[in-house]
Chains A and B, each alone.
Chain A
């Protein structure tokens, strides 16, 4: 589904990703772990199509297509989803309009008719329940006045509405209490499907108790220094990221 070959990325002249290689197959869950500043979020943003990054080298193939050639919106329409670490508040854009436009843009891309008002509301109700999103929140502007936990739930709610093929969840666990973490994880797990893949970016192992990865990669100073099965997450938690420093040297 996704192949990243020797990806080198810089921002404002500073190299952040220094040759990433990664292969993700349909149905797999990959976790990317690493200390702060290792380039985890950069990887997520580059995949989603944020433009401020400079691609120095390498390629990204998404379902056989050159991902870097696609605009952010086309990537989304083709099934790539980024769950933001810090979802932005957009005053004046009502949640309902936003989600509706988003869903219908996806449908248009697939050659489908827009949902009727009834169909849309039904779908929204269903998916809101999935993440226990307070009904009142969808009457507000996008993320405006949402608590940290509500913002994260809202990301998973959007993911549920859009049913992406490849979801990248950037620190979806940060700032969540354990109940919210369970709800968010349940939401992610409910969407699991043999045709869908997930990249979970996280600092801590805790989330991976709920969303169990097939592969764990450790990103350190812009490189993947170690890849293994889910047991690697536990090992990291035990030994801490300092262990990596000596290990990778």
Chain B
């Protein structure tokens, strides 16, 4: 089969799947989501699964993972998850509100969260869309629909549930909300998850997404998360990706920032198969600030691709990106960072850096900055490095009696630390430091403590 034929076949496969299950999809969700499906599937059908010819997916072949056969869960099925077990996998000493999602669905046994500030809603997207459709409707798909990415359209066509959070104006949610996404099944499944986070004017919230697998199956998840950061709001979104190495995922996040808002996004990729993270930020108000960090530690045949796209639509905004990769064995990494400064977005500050360490000759890194600057009074910079462990530094440490393995570890930790240190939740920062060290020592199972797999 030629590539093109395969592409058409793939596109047909998912389109047919959609039409066959259309009524089940609708029945298992809410009209707010259902009414977006038709347009979305048409958009998907036109473009299909992006292949190498798609400039945005140049370094990541999604056809390979979308080609496999998966089971789809269009009707909610309760898969029991022991909360303690889930906890052990995560950030235990962290004082958070915990919410579980299993196979893309909001877990039916989640307890209602206690002591949330007044007016704050956290729960199932499907449920809130049914109960308060106008609240969800105002935001859902407002950012994602602007994307020309067929994978995002595919999510919109199939999405039934996910995580929802709403913080009204003038409210500070001090305790982080921890969303634990668990994939658990005895057969390969494909999950579509749709998340929506709305943080009102002058409000603050921190959300931690922890992606895990609780069985050794092949998985494919197609997640879309939209985050609306209101005027003067401060929002942190942390993501810890630690799935089994047969778990593939495409995660597309869309952020829209209001005037004077402050966004921090930090993604730590520890284990997983093929992972593609799309991150789009629209700076829609002046004096907005976005700090975007990523770190990735890969080995074996892992493949991690971060694609960022920052739209400086207003003057006087600041965006700062630091992405770091440590690649071992035959793993492959990619980073592509697009910054677009529109014509009148003067006094823009946009910085981007991608530093990579290759530990073997067979590991591979692709890095591509793309700056499109249509304003004339801006400060923009980008830089990328690909290198090995600094042998001079290694010798210096060894010459002080520090063993080679420990010295290497110190240097790799130091490399990652620049990203870790920007985490604004201290216990999470300590925990990630610990996870990174374990990962580098090879002691971290893809799901730490779930050693029975």
Q: Are A101 and B404 in contact (CB under 8 A)?
A: no
Residues of chain B within 8 A (CB-CB) of A243 are none
A98–B396 CA distance with the chains assembled, in angstroms? 11
Q: What is the CB-to-nearest-CB distance from A205 to chain B, in angstroms, rounded to a whole number? A: 27
Task: Please state if B398 and A73 are interface contacts (CB–CB under 8 Å).
Answer: yes
CB-contacts of A194-230 with B (<8 A) = none
Q: Report which of A72, A84, A90, A158 forms a contact with B411, defined as CB distance below 8 A.
A: A90
- With known contacts A73-B404, A88-B390, A82–B399 Cβ distance under 8 A: yes
Question: In terms of DSSP, what is the predominant structure of the interface of chain B?
Answer: helix
| Interfacial chain A residues near B403, Cβ < 8 Å | 73, 105
B415 near A98 (CB under 8 angstroms)?
no
A90–B395 CB distance below 8 A: no
The reply to whether B399 and A76 contact each other, CB–CB distance below 8 Å, is yes
By the criterion CB–CB under 8 Å, are A109 and B401 in contact? Answer: yes
Q: Check if B393 sits within 8 Å of A90, measured CB to CB.
A: yes
A193 interfacial by beta-carbon distance below 8 Å? no
A87 touches B398 (CB 8 A): no
A158–B404 alpha-carbon span in the complex (Å)? 19
**A160 to B: closest C-beta gap in Å:** 13
Residues A76 and B398 in contact, CB atoms below 8 Å apart: yes
- B interface bracket (residues with beta carbon within 8 Å of A): 20 to 34
Could you tell me if B392 and A88 are in contact, using CB atoms closer than 8 angstroms?
yes
Q: Which of A134-170 touch B at CB < 8 Å?
A: 141-142, 158, 162
Q: What is the chain A residue whose CB lies nearest that of B421?
A: A92
> Is the CB–CB distance between A158 and B414 below 8 Å?
no
Instruction: Tell me, yes or no, whether A91 is within 8 Å of chain B by CB.
Output: yes
Asked if B418 and A92 sit within 8 Å, CB to CB, the answer is yes
B interface footprint on A65-98 (CB within 8 Å = 1, 0 otherwise): 0000001110111000110100110111100011
Q: Are A92 and B400 in contact (CB under 8 A)?
A: no
Distance, CA A51 to CA B392, complexed state (A): 11
Cα of A105 to Cα of B417 in the assembled complex, Å:
23
Q: Is B398 a contact partner of A106 (Cβ separation < 8 A)?
A: no
Of all chain A residues, which has the CB nearest B403? A73
- Is A102 close to B, CB under 8 A? yes
Of B396, B398, B404, which is within 8 A of A90 by CB? B396
| C-alpha spacing A20/B390, complex, angstroms | 30
Contact B414 A105 (CB under 8 A): no
Nearest Cβ on chain B to A14's Cβ, whole angstroms: 19
Are B398 and A49 in touch, CB under 8 angstroms? yes
A-facing mask of B83-112, CB < 8 A → 1, else 0?
Answer: 000000000000000000000000000000
In the complex, A50→B390 CA distance in Å? Answer: 14
| A205-B399 Cα distance, complex, nearest whole Å | 27
Which residue of chain A has the shortest Cβ distance to B414 in the bound complex?
A92
Please report which residues of chain A, range 23-69, place their CB below 8 angstroms from some CB of chain B when the two chains form the complex: 48-51
Contact A101 B415 (CB under 8 A): no
- Is B450 in contact with chain A by the CB < 8 A criterion? no
B402:A105 contact, CB within 8 angstroms: yes
Q: Which residues of A contact B393 (CB under 8 A)?
A: 88, 90
* Beta-carbon contact of B410 and A93 below 8 Å: yes
A54 to chain B: closest CB distance in Å? 16
Q: Is the CB of B401 within 8 A of A106?
A: yes
- Which one of A84, A97, A141 contacts B396 once the chains associate, using CB atoms below 8 Å? A84
How far is B413's CA from A50's CA once the two chains are assembled, in angstroms? 23
* A155-B406 Cα distance, complex, nearest whole Å: 21
Give the complex CA separation of A105 and B400 in angstroms.
9
Q: How far is the CA of A109 from the CA of B402 in the complex (A)?
A: 11
Q: Please name the residue on chain B nearest to A78 by beta carbon.
A: B401
Q: Report the separation of the CA atoms of residues A195 and B76 in the bound assembly, to the nearest whole angstrom.
A: 77
Q: Whole-angstrom distance between the alpha carbons of A81 and B392 in the complex?
A: 16
Asked whether B121 is an interface residue with its Cβ less than 8 Å from the other chain, the reply is no
Residue of A nearest to B391 (CB): A52
Q: Which chain B residues in 278-321 approach chain A with CB under 8 Å?
A: none
Shortest CB distance B9–A (Å): 48
Residues in B neighbouring A97, C-beta threshold 8 A: 410
B397 within 8 A of A: yes
**Beyond A73-B402, A101-B406, A106-B401, is A87–B396 a contact (Cβ under 8 Å)?**
yes
Check A101 against B410 for contact (C-beta < 8 Å). Answer: yes
Q: Say yes or no: A91 contacts B414, CB within 8 Å.
A: yes
Contacts of A105 in B (CB 8 A): 400-403, 406
Q: Is the pair B414, A71 in contact by a Cβ cutoff of 8 Å?
A: no
Q: Are B398 and A71 in contact (CB under 8 A)?
A: yes
Give chain A residues whose Cβ lies under 8 Å from the Cβ of B418: 91-92
Q: Shortest CB–CB separation between residue A156 and chain B, in angstroms? A: 13
Most A-side CB within 10 Å, residue of B399, B406, B411? B399
Which residue in chain A gives the minimum CB-CB distance to B420? A92
- Select from chain B the residue with minimum beta-carbon distance to A90: B393
Least Cβ–Cβ distance between B262 and chain A, in angstroms? 25
**How far is the CB of A214 from the nearest CB of chain B, in Å?**
25
Shortest Cβ gap from B159 to chain A (Å): 40
CA gap between A106 and B402 in the complex, in Å:
8
CB-CB < 8 A to B404: which residues of A?
71, 73
Given contacts A77-B401, A98-B400, 17 further A-B contacts (CB under 8 A): A48-B395, A48-B399, A49-B398, A73-B398, A73-B407, A87-B396, A88-B392, A90-B393, A92-B414, A92-B418, A93-B413, A98-B397, A101-B402, A101-B406, A102-B400, A109-B401, A141-B414
12 A-B residue pairs with CB within 8 Å: A49-B399, A72-B395, A73-B402, A73-B404, A88-B390, A90-B397, A91-B418, A92-B417, A92-B418, A98-B402, A102-B401, A105-B402
